Amino acid sequence: MAGLYFEQFEPGQRFEHAVRRTVTETDNLLFSALTMNPAPIHLDAEYSRTTPFGERIVNSLFTLGLLVGLSVYDTTFGTTIGNLGFEEVRFPKPVLIGDTLRAATTVISRRESQSRPDSGIVVLEHRCFNQRNEEVAVCRRAALMLKKPAA
């Protein structure tokens, strides 16, 4: 399914995204290495046993990226010009290797762009849940969205 155009978003609209993803050890290792994050809480199993979590936790920026990615097909695929910013990013529970994540999105607001007549700004709230239905991430994202092409 292609993403939605600016005019197709309505405040209060909610999406339960069908695509889910199980996070693997490789995901966590590669993402941490690619982003130069050597924190032992992500990479060192022995160290992580001594933490309150008792095991490695997944890099939170991977979780944020996956959360947004899970929403793309239903919301912004091919219709976004770009992300304008993220705010209110929270990680209420850690993601563990082997967790299966799903996402839901709510449209918070939309407004016309003041500088681009072909687009508007949509604020989306994304929420991520693990297989135990625990919320593991939430963020608000402002996206610059294309308007429907003239007929």
CATH assignment at residue 141: 3.10.129.10
**Taking the model in full, what pTM does it have?**
0.94
64 domain residue, yes or no: yes
In a domain, 151, yes or no: no
| Residue 22 belongs to some domain of the structure | yes
Split at pLDDT 50, 70, 90, the class of 149 is confident
Range of the domain at 122: 9-146
How far is CA 6 from each of CA 2, 3, 55, 132, rounded to the nearest angstrom? 13, 10, 43, 34
Q: Is the pLDDT of residue 49 over 70?
A: yes
Residue 83 within a domain: yes
- Quick check: helix, strand or coil at residue 11? coil
The number of folded domains in the chain is 1
Q: Does some domain include residue 99?
A: yes
Domain-located, residue 4: no
Structural contact between residues 31 and 47, judged by C-beta atoms closer than 8 angstroms: no
